[in-house]
Amino acid sequence: MVLKRIKLRDFRNYGLQDIELNSKFNFIYGNNGHGKTNILEGISFVTFGKSFLGSPDQDCVKFGSGEFFIDSVFENDLGNDYLVSLNYNSNTKKKTYQLNKEKVSRFSSEVFGKFPVVFFSPHSLNITYGNPSERRKFFDILISQTSRVYLDYLKDLSRLLKQKNALLKSFQSERSYSERDFRYLLNSINEGLIVVTIEVLIRRLSFINEFKSYFEKNFGNLLKTQDRPIIKYYSEILEDSSLNSDDVLNIGRDEFTEKINEYFKKRESEEISRGLSLIGPQRDDYIFSLEKHNNGEDIQEKEFELKNFASQGEHKTFVIGLKLAEFYFILDKLGSSPILLLDDILSELDAERVFKIISHLKDFGQIILTSVDTGYNEKFKDIFGTEEISYIKVLKGEISYEKS
């Protein structure tokens, strides 16, 4: 998949800007605060439906304007063009999408995952440094880009949790339901949540089993040592039920449903007293660890949790391994290369490692790299031919195409 062109209108600091992109490598450069990352953020809106930085839609409207527009043209591996357009209106707080000039009623089912992308920015380090929600977000987006069914279950989970939390809060503060009606409604919502919880857990655990081979391979290619990365899935539900990932994938659905139901019943009184849903896959975590080796021999602290004990370099290497594994996993699952968006990573990673990544991936698809540093131009020429590179300068919300 290739992004041929993107037009930004009243988006961030851009009044009206049409940007044509090279199908191979695009080097977008300029000083901080002039709009380099805003281009990538625009791409995230037409692929993910939201800002990859987590910014509210309203914040992306240019100052003094009431709405923004983004038009984009993608080309698939067969040479077919797709036009994706987005309009966000700050008064109505609504986003409107069009695919090939036809209005999209459901972005998640008609657009999301159709134009796969992999983002890597300094913000990506939150995957290992941040709280569990950052790790869930990373894996949920990755799995959803390759499985529409999983995305539908996540939407069901979100909808049911909103209903449950509203019911619990209302009953606790207002007693707007009789005890009998409240119990009936709570049981009904929990029945749906149990079904969704089981489906989400099974798909997450199945994914980890498959993904770990991609991750171990790409992580290993980044190191000279034999250190091994480990990803474990943590769920309070499974821990309380004395189940591990293998149990979940091998146990019968009826038995698994019974154990999940028992746990929901066990926590029910606490949820009612606190007026809040306290259980479910929305509270789970992915635990990252490293198994350290020294010249092939185990050292004393064989395995340690990344979040608590790893160095900054080990965190960065872990995230790079995750991102490379994400790229290849999507490539294999969809049969099409995701677009690789690298935002200011030259300031976070050593240059040699960045060039190694770029040279390794250059034959697989399109790369868009932003940076404040133009000192690497000659190095890019060692990787790409003259026609394969576009140099795009950004200055105060205006772009120009430059020669190296």
The CATH code belonging to domain 1-116+336-404 is: 3.40.50.300
- Reported as a pLDDT band with limits 50, 70 and 90, residue 297 is low
In the sheet with 102-104, reading across from the earlier edge strand, the strands are 14-20, 2-11, 67-75, 81-89, 94-99, 102-104
What is the reported pLDDT for 254?
87
* Residue for token pair 């690497």: 376
Coil vs helix vs strand at 338: coil
| Average pLDDT score, the chain | 90
Average pLDDT over residues 53-68: 94
Does 393 or 357 have the greater pLDDT score?
393
Calpha distance 61→9 (Å, rounded): 9
For 260, list phi and psi in degrees, rounded to 5. -65, -40
**Rounded (to 5) percent helix, strand, coil in the chain:** 50, 25, 25
Q: Please give the C-alpha separations between residue 44 and each of 72, 268, 282, 323, 340, in angstroms, as whole numbers.
A: 11, 39, 23, 16, 12
Residue-wise pLDDT for 146-170, tens only, equals: 999 999 999 999 999 999 999 999 8
Residue 253 tokens read as: 């659905």
Q: Which fold has domain 131-335?
A: Glutathione S-transferase Yfyf (Class Pi); Chain A, domain 2 (1.20.1050)
Average pLDDT over residues 169-184: 85
Judge whether residue 309 has pLDDT over 90: no
β partners of residue 72: 6, 84
Out of 26-30, 34-38, 226-230, pick the least confident.
226-230
Average pLDDT over residues 20-24: 95
Judge whether residue 296 has pLDDT over 70: no
Q: Please give the C-alpha separations between residue 257 and each of 81, 193, 227, 266, 402, in angstroms, as whole numbers.
A: 45, 11, 38, 14, 61
Question: Any idea where the domains of the chain sit in the sequence?
Answer: 1-116+336-404, 131-335
User: Is there a contact between 315 and 348 (Cβ–Cβ < 8 Å)?
Assistant: no
- Reported as a pLDDT band with limits 50, 70 and 90, residue 294 is low
User: Is there a contact between 339 and 1 (Cβ–Cβ < 8 Å)?
Assistant: yes
What is the reported pLDDT for 404?
67
Residue 374 tokens read as: 């133009």
Where residue 175 falls (left for φ over 0; alpha for ψ -120 to 50; beta otherwise) is left
- Reported as a pLDDT band with limits 50, 70 and 90, residue 274 is very high
What is the reported pLDDT for 235?
93
Report strand pairing: 339-343 vs 389-395.
unpaired
Calpha distance 299→294 (Å, rounded): 6
Other Cβ atoms closer than 10 A to 146: 16
Out of 67-81, 110-124, 214-228, pick the least confident.
214-228
Residue-wise pLDDT for 320-348, tens only, equals: 899 999 999 999 999 889 999 999 887 77
Out of 57-71, 268-282, 309-323, pick the least confident.
309-323
